[in-house]
Chain A
């Protein structure tokens, strides 16, 4: 455990993190930084790729919001070797998604530095922008106010994988005195970076272990409740139909999903572009058929495709125009799928994807 505590950062947590990232560029330790940052045109910070430290005044990775899963942007950035060292500031679930994409030959983590954080969850975009309007320093206020922390999404409030794996550096707030924080190096690369930035190793944040344990227990309990309720809901066809009753087949959830990686979803291809007589025949068989058709088919098929890879980031629920808690269904079902295949997405980049383990455990390349 290599903790670099900052007991009294004079400029506050957000500015400390911002200047740390600026120095990474300034000291040429990296060529670019992908991080959440506010900008004049959006009331919600967006993932932004910086190369000039001076333009980083809006950087705020600890802001309790993630309008889109940065995994997809990180994957685009590392799709093929660019020869540049890029710092990727990602939430734990986004790292897990990125690792799944690596396995699918979509990108590589060769020259990437991954910085993550104790993820206390994110709010839906609308709720975040309302709270941000009420006053400055939304991030500091969020970090110190349990009441604000209560406004995070259902998915985040039932997530017990809030600590990052496979990251080089973690921005630690759990267990720090109010207003304080620490940087934790998880890899030698992270250690070298922090030390070259002049941070001094120290002992662990005072109540870090207890706080982490407390949060983990709380989240696990609520997760179990949610999953049991959802599983019950899904256990009958009526329950399932009611759950997706208002689905419009807009496929937003697919677009927002970081691990749903097809270039074009099969449901958009002619495989599901049914000729009129087929639709009429389907209607005659049952007397009536809801349009657009194949809604259940879509959700079940998507589950069969990425059930093993769902990292529980909750973006599908956030983008659903009909407010369907798609993430609840996907996380509940994929927990059982992953148990069935004894597979955890994002745990280890060398762990092969279950469906593809065909010939004595190795995937043909």
Chain B
């Protein structure tokens, strides 16, 4: 520890152009730092992070034999890496370096420049007394497993899986439903180009199924995630399909023969029925049915039946199937769990659930879809074709009592519905909106086209939908009540059908997956990205990325773009092949440890083992994330986190007060 006893510290105070300098008297701070023990040189410079600034440090290290560097400038979250590399390039261990944040936490937030300068001095002095106790550390390179996991088989999951597979990496795609496709599989047309969802998505689904690098696990869920960036061990639970996937040819006979037919179809939003053995929709991928264990006469009610087994030529039905657990070793994880439409039942004024002719947008999508309950004919529950339809925007969205955010896609799909209705039924279509939001490419053009098709736009949020009518011959119709704010009158519009453009919320189960992956969620339940603008697809958990609506409501173009982005980040990680583990991890001094195991109890990652022979605790460096819980629990400080040791922190405290 020779250089430990003779530290030679260099202090550099940055002007950061006009950001620090006028408010903080940088010359004063540098001068004050110069008076501190072991400080050999103290300078101030306009832009420390610039090349000349970094060169100044490098030259001082070489010429003055500095073995400690302190830079008082911006937040270490911004430029710690930059300066560490500069120190390293001068041949000094990059951890003999400490920053003092005198911009975000001093000059930008303090009125009085006297106070700001005093605070800057104290922070710089504290950094100097901390760096005195710094020790040389080195990061370790750990090999990255060249495969990845994608959770969620909607368009986002499929796209990121395909992009990564095309880059030559092994991808495991885990989807909870019997088939991939997600919400997009439910749509007929998609805005703004009105091309049909099935036509553009089914080829992708088949690609995913047949891609040599993609292993598809449908009807499966993630149970547990362990390990760290580049080396995750994921436990997946494959729910029993009761159908042998190898033998099944997808002929569909079993579905015809199944006697219990009165089960509400989730895929068709409850507008039609399905059998106990079913595939969610005809183009399901994989085209292998599952048996719904609750409603199946054999499995659910354990009575005699077995019709499906009897008629299955390839004998693929297997009532004895049990859940299967398998462990996947992956280097990166992409969460693509998508969204769920808001259920408007609790939004009282809209009367959903009370009035049969009030539909949600997803229900209308199924009505309009050729594979839907009405094979695409626009027929209401009462069998009639609607003559006048009202489409209600912002149902549940932009409302502090429900979802305070704008769900971003409802205006566009509402206009798509209006177009489809006009085209298919010629019905009078009214859209009640607050603001039409059509920001995307060709979106405004689509809005104009729908206006030209005679859709009537009323600017006013619907206050109430009721079956109370004023004019007797409107009996049986619904009345939409809203203020038309542009004509300053209350509109009471009798209509035959109402479509509620419901907002989006996180998919059910997102909270559990978030806890498994260690990814936090914002107030509304969407996964929190690392940086809203600059890192939208990565998360604070290294090696875990986000794609699609699970990060926030977005339309298909943005979802696909983000899916490719997330795949790009994952590929970047995997292609590096190695990942540097952080240097700031814990270790336990065997001479001080008395084997009380307190640290083992405190470790959230079970990263500390116990050496029975020597009766001491030992840190598994691969699993340790450097959170310091063990260090804070250990009374003798034999457990301590490198770069955050007691001496360093208490050293910093010494001059802070």
Contact = CB atoms under 8 A, between A and B. Distances in A.
**A and B in contact, CB less than 8 Å:** yes
Interface stretch (A19-27, A44-52, A259-267, A326-334): A259-267
A266 B610 CA distance: 22
A364 B596 CA distance: 12
B463 interface: no
Nearest to A306: B635
Given A262-B635, A263-B636, A106 B654 contact: no
B598 A269 contact: no
A262 B606 contact: no
A130 interface: no
B38 A277 contact: yes
Given A106-B594, A277-B38, A278-B654, A269 B637 contact: yes
Contact of A278 (B129, B592, B598, B638): B129
Given A266-B637, A356-B601, A261 B596 contact: yes
Pick the most buried of A282, A353, A356: most chain B CB atoms within 10 A of its CB: A356
Given A105-B596, A263-B594, A271 B647 contact: yes
Given A261-B594, A281-B654, A266 B635 contact: yes
A355 B633 contact: yes
Given A106-B594, A264-B636, A281-B654, A358 B37 contact: no
Contact of A262 (B594, B629, B633, B651): B594
Interface in B612-657: 629, 633, 635-638, 646-647, 650-651, 654-655
A271 B38 contact: no
A356 B636 contact: no
A362 to B, nearest CB: 8
Interface string B443-482: 0000000000000000000000000000000000000000
A281 B37 contact: yes
A147 interface: no
A365 B599 CA distance: 9
Contact of B650 (A106, A271, A277, A306): A271
A363 interface: yes
B646 A104 contact: no
B637 A271 contact: yes
Q: Which of A104, A269, A363, A365 has the most CB of B within 10 A?
A: A269
B595 interface: yes
A305 interface: yes
A281 B653 CA distance: 13
A10 interface: no
Interface string B571-612: 000000000000000000001111111101111101000100
Contacts of A266: 635-637, 646
Contact of B595 (A105, A271, A281, A305): A105
Contact of A271 (B37, B606, B646): B646
Contacts of A358: 601-602, 604, 629
A20 B403 CA distance: 79
A305 to B, nearest CB: 4
A203 interface: no
Contacts of B638: 263
B601 A364 contact: yes
A365 B600 contact: yes
- Counting contact residues on chain A (CB < 8 A from B), the size range is 20 to 34
- Chain B residues touching A, majority SS: loop
A265 B646 CA distance: 14
Nearest to A103: B596
A355 to B, nearest CB: 6
A281 B597 CA distance: 38
| Chain A facing B: main interface SS | loop
Contacts of B600: 364-365
A104 B635 CA distance: 12
Contacts of B636: 262-266, 269
B592 A353 contact: no
A308 to B, nearest CB: 12
B603 to A, nearest CB: 7
A305 B633 CA distance: 9
Contacts of B637: 266, 269, 271
A124 B610 CA distance: 41
A35 B628 CA distance: 43
A270 interface: yes
Contacts of B635: 262, 266, 305-306
A89 B627 CA distance: 44
Contacts of A261: 594, 596
Nearest to B132: A275
Nearest to A273: B647
Interface in A314-364: 353, 355-356, 358-359, 363-364
A104 B654 contact: no
Given A269-B637, A277-B38, A355-B633, A263 B601 contact: no
B609 to A, nearest CB: 11
Interface string A270-305: 110001011001100000000000000000000001
Interface string B53-65: 0000000000000
Contacts of B606: 364
Nearest to A275: B132
A281 B633 CA distance: 30
A104 B650 contact: no
A356 B591 CA distance: 22
A277 B646 contact: no
Contacts of B596: 104-106, 261
Contacts of B601: 356, 358-359, 363-365
A159 B129 CA distance: 47
Contacts of B597: 104-105, 363-365
Contacts of A363: 597, 601
Contacts of B132: 275
A270 B589 CA distance: 13
A211 to B, nearest CB: 39
Nearest to B5: A275
Contacts of A364: 597, 600-603, 606
Contacts of A355: 598, 633
8 contacts: A263-B594, A270-B647, A278-B129, A353-B598, A358-B629, A364-B602, A365-B600, A365-B601
9 residue pairs, one from A and one from B, having the closest CB atoms: A262-B636, A277-B37, A363-B601, A104-B596, A364-B601, A305-B635, A263-B594, A356-B601, A271-B646
Given A266-B635, A364-B601, 20 more contacts: A104-B597, A105-B596, A106-B596, A261-B596, A262-B635, A263-B638, A264-B591, A265-B636, A266-B637, A266-B646, A269-B592, A270-B647, A271-B647, A278-B654, A281-B654, A281-B655, A358-B601, A358-B602, A359-B601, A364-B602
Interface of A: 104-106, 261-266, 269-271, 275, 277-278, 281-282, 305-306, 353, 355-356, 358-359, 363-365
